[in-house]
Structure 1
Amino acid sequence: MTAPISEEGRLGAYLRSRRARLDPAALGYPVGRRRTPGLRREEVAQRANISPTWYTWLEQGRGGAPSADVLDRIARGLMLTEAEREHLFLIALGRAPDVRYRPVDEVTPRLQAVLDAMPFSPAFIKTATWDVVAWNRAAAAVLTDYGALPREERNVLRIMFGNERVRAAQDDWWSVARFVVASFRADAARAGASAEMTELVEDMSRRSEAFATLWRSDDVAAPGGGAKRLHHAEAGLLELEFSTFAVDGRPELAMAVYNPATEETAARVRALLEGAASRTP
């Protein structure tokens, strides 16, 4: 009967498998005569800036638990993908690595296609700092025409506190604004965007006393979903149900989808979009 592999053994096996797939020639190392495929242990240690002896021990399952910093260095040295880096942390430390926030300016065509597949449900994708980076036609018609805004103003906070038309459309602006600020605080912290959050908060506090007041309350809310009533200038009262979804593999992105809550709202949204399409050259 085969003995179960220990956690140290799993870590060593994973490190060896990732090391074996690297091409020495492509990384500038002489090929020469190598007993096994991939890089040598001392070459990985050099790339990770750690002791060759300790790296050897890690592969042999006797190096002890490495720190998160060392694992990050090894991940870079082995050129691991984000998924592989996360797996490395789970094996070595029993937890996922701390989230590293990555600014995003646009989404893939595949994600845009997901938005476009919901023609009568306003939907958009936002970053951890709530910059809107993609949206569908329904979102532009019902919520905000993001394409008409400068890129730096396509931010949910800036729109909520700086756009009078959006403010007037809310059924209870103060309650909505409180929820938005509390949800933003949770999102940005979860994604590890502390520096970016601080910069945006300072700017928003200078622009809006209402935002500054709500931010000082330190409220936190889960941004999962809820109900929304909008007084649209053309379509009238719209009753919507919204849900927020994480984008798989992209912790810095979230998708918000607003579905009509009543048949009347669905008809009004459809008429609004059809009217906008008829006016488009």
Structure 2
Amino acid sequence: MSLLTSIPATTDKMPSGAVAKGERRRELAVFLRSRRERIRPDEVGFALGGRRRTPGLRREEVAQLAGVGVTWYTWLEQGRDINVSAQVLEAIARTLRLDRLERNHLYTLAGISLGPARSDCAALPDSIQRMLDAVSPYPAIVLNARYDVLAFNDAYCKVIVDIGSVPLEERNILWLIFVSQDWRCSFVETETMRMHMVAGYRAALADHLGEPEWQDLTDRLLASSPEFARLWEQYEVAAPSNKIKLLDHPKLGLLRVEPANLWLTQLGQHRAIVYTAVDAATEEKFRILMDS
């Protein structure tokens, strides 16, 4: 049961905007604390001596380095509804040594836009399916920001998972990887891939806090997969990767592929992923499988 559906019927319903804002403040609080705790005091000029109740920097040390008031920063990390400027966020981002994606995540959670809002589109034009079919024998799919599978080609079904046989409500890559047993092949570096996907989902979630569909998926994953829950608690954020992957297919053996992420800009946060062959052996195995 999601957090939103568990609210008693007698409770006054909050406006969706207020719910999203509250969720962002809570996420911001957790994110700041997790980034603060990963920095060793001696890395930024503070002595290691003295009794420390938590790992990493203290709140007052972050405030000092960022040039903000201790009370103000404490309120920020507690998720209170306070005014935050881009200038102060930039100082905090530098102090916490955030990379580009983490910095963008910080701005999103704080409700400060870094650019024009992105549109979304639920329906895919027929040209997208034709594109996926045209890249065969390479496996290809289209995902939205929540990792829902919106389109796929036959090669993806034969190499990775037969999406056509998966119930519509389970056509989500996170669900398939962490809960389902339907994969036709296994990623050799499964742990690394799972960590990166959870981090990517966490980053995307910042734009959709308070939305029932996202909350429901998160709740179901946490309830169904201890591994997802463990990685979720690490609070990492990441962008899609083009790193070469090794797949171990039950019929084809080892496959070396490189995912190409093609952003479908007119469709907002949708992207096509084409798994291209890295070497001639993988290319030949793809063609053999599609001809069989």
**Bigger relative CO (Cα 8 Å, ≥ 6 apart):** 2
Q: What TM-score comes out, normalization by structure 2 length?
A: 0.57
**Residue 98 (structure 1) aligned to one of 114, 117, 136:** 117
User: Equivalent residue for 1:111?
Assistant: 128
Q: CA deviation at 1:130?
A: 0.8
Partners in 2 of 1:198 and 1:115 — Cα distance?
A: 30
Residue 212 (str. 1) matches residue 215 (str. 2): no
For the residue of structure 2 that corresponds to 1:226, the secondary structure is: coil
Superposed CA RMSD = 2.2
**Residue 166 (structure 1) aligned to one of 166, 169, 183:** 183
2:139·2:275 contact (CA, 8 Å) conserved in 1?
yes
Partners in 1 of 2:162 and 2:171 — Cα distance?
A: 9
Residue ranges of structure 2 left out of the alignment (5+ in a row): 1-112
For the residue of structure 2 that corresponds to 1:166, the secondary structure is: coil
Q: CA deviation at 1:172?
A: 2.1
2:161·2:185 contact (CA, 8 Å) conserved in 1?
no
Partners in 2 of 1:209 and 1:229 — Cα distance?
A: 25
Partners in 2 of 1:227 and 1:155 — Cα distance?
A: 22
**Residue 158 (structure 2) aligned to one of 100, 116, 141:** 141
Equivalent residues in 2 for 1:1-281 (5 A)?
Answer: 97-99=116-118, 101=120, 104=122, 106-166=123-183, 169-190=186-207, 192=208, 195=211, 196-275=213-292
For the residue of structure 2 that corresponds to 1:225, the secondary structure is: coil
Q: What TM-score comes out, normalization by structure 1 length?
A: 0.59
The alignment of Structure 1 onto Structure 2 pairs a total of residues equal to 179
Partners in 2 of 1:95 and 1:159 — Cα distance?
A: 33
2:246·2:257 contact (CA, 8 Å) conserved in 1?
yes
Deviation per CA, 1:39-71, whole angstroms, max 9, x where unpaired? xxxxxxxxxxxxxxxxxxxxxxxxxxxxxxxxx
Deviation per CA, 1:116-167, whole angstroms, max 9, x where unpaired? 1101111100111111010111111111110010001110001101233539
